[in-house]
Amino acid sequence: MKNFSSILLSLSRKSCFTAMATPKKLKVAVLGPSGQCGQCVVNELLSRNHDVVGLSRNPPKTWTSTTNTGSYTAESVDVFDDSSLARAFSKGYDAIVCSYAPPLGDFSKLYQLGVEGHAKIKTALLASDHKGPFVVIGGAGSLHCADRRQLVDQPDFAFGWWYTWPSQHVEYMRVRASDHGATFFSRFIGGFAWARQTVEKTGLLSTVLRPFARLYLRWAKKFLTSNETISLITQSRIALRLWQGVTEKPWTFLSPPGQLRDKGVRTGQYRVYVDTAEDPAVEATERGIYNEDMAVAIVDEVEKNQLNWKHWTCTGPIDLGRW
């Protein structure tokens, strides 16, 4: 059970900022501005009047949002060119947010591109002149559970984890995969939802279909526990390991909670948990947050810089009946 003394914040940004002076305008680089997490961070930074530079291979050249008050520019850089990346990090930023993820196109390359990409990012940061906050977004699999082991090390991961998800989150994952053109994955998730429901429901039809549902779940388990499938999560865990122990520069590593949803709403409410093996953020493995609220937590950290050298997560309301 989480020690609540380590919960640093539980606030609505609105109530927080009525009590505080307006933060100064910052110049912030976001590595991976077009990604599902990076986009929300850019929107949040711009809405708070900060100046943002998007860094990636093909970053959006301009940014349109109704709440924009800050400015947006872009610089093309590939993380695998760590000399260029070090130069890009050395342009006088007050903070850098790393929302890099390896492309999902080929699962067989994900782990290598993820681990090597994060290693290059670390090399570049240490070689750069950047001295301010460096916020890395990683994966939920790095969070610790009650047995002190990380979520990704739990038996039958990721199948066992998926099996505990509420139906709404499984449906969210199905639709999200479909929206992103991952047709096989979307159909796979639809089948998983059907099979899970069928083995658990009573009634004649479920009884007749149960053997087929069990067969499907057996295949799903094989797929969801394979090294390739979980490589996006294991590479994020190694990214955390790469940063732990580094003291030359500030860094902070955010693992999203178990259920991260985009297409959400921004409530401005979130709760931060620092996660360690000794004091694991178990609640966060079971809860979730909208990407927009996670971006609020990230930009609060950019402005206040209270979580240096920590592994942390944040949860928020996700039971609003929409994603």
Ligand X SMILES: NC(=O)c1ccc[n+]([C@@H]2O[C@H](COP(=O)([O-])OP(=O)(O)OC[C@H]3O[C@@H](n4cnc5c(N)ncnc54)[C@H](OP(=O)(O)O)[C@@H]3O)[C@@H](O)[C@H]2O)c1
Site residues (CB under 6 A) for ligand X? 32-38, 56-59, 78-80, 99-101, 103, 137-140, 232, 236, 256, 260
| 103 contacts 113 by C-beta, under 8 angstroms | yes
- 3-class secondary structure, 153: helix
**Residue nearest ligand X, CB atom distance:** 35
CB nearer to ligand X: give 72 or 216.
Answer: 72
The nearest distance, CB 193 to ligand X, in angstroms, is: 18
CB nearer to ligand X: give 36 or 206.
Answer: 36
Token pair for 21: 């002076």
The nearest distance, CB 165 to ligand X, in angstroms, is: 11
Read out DSSP for 249-261? S--EEEPP-SEEE
Alpha-carbon distance 167 to 174, whole Å? 11
Q: Cα-atom radius of gyration of the chain, to the nearest Å?
A: 20
The nearest distance, CB 54 to ligand X, in angstroms, is: 8
CB nearer to ligand X: give 79 or 230.
Answer: 79
CB nearer to ligand X: give 54 or 216.
Answer: 54
Token pair for 296: 């609020």
CB nearer to ligand X: give 25 or 109.
Answer: 109
The nearest distance, CB 209 to ligand X, in angstroms, is: 31
The nearest distance, CB 178 to ligand X, in angstroms, is: 16
- 3-class secondary structure, 224: helix
Ordered alpha helix ranges (H), 78-106: 82-89
Q: How far is CA 38 from CA 41, 98, 234, in A?
A: 5, 8, 20
From 124, 71, 146, 114, select the one nearest 237 (Cα to Cα): 114
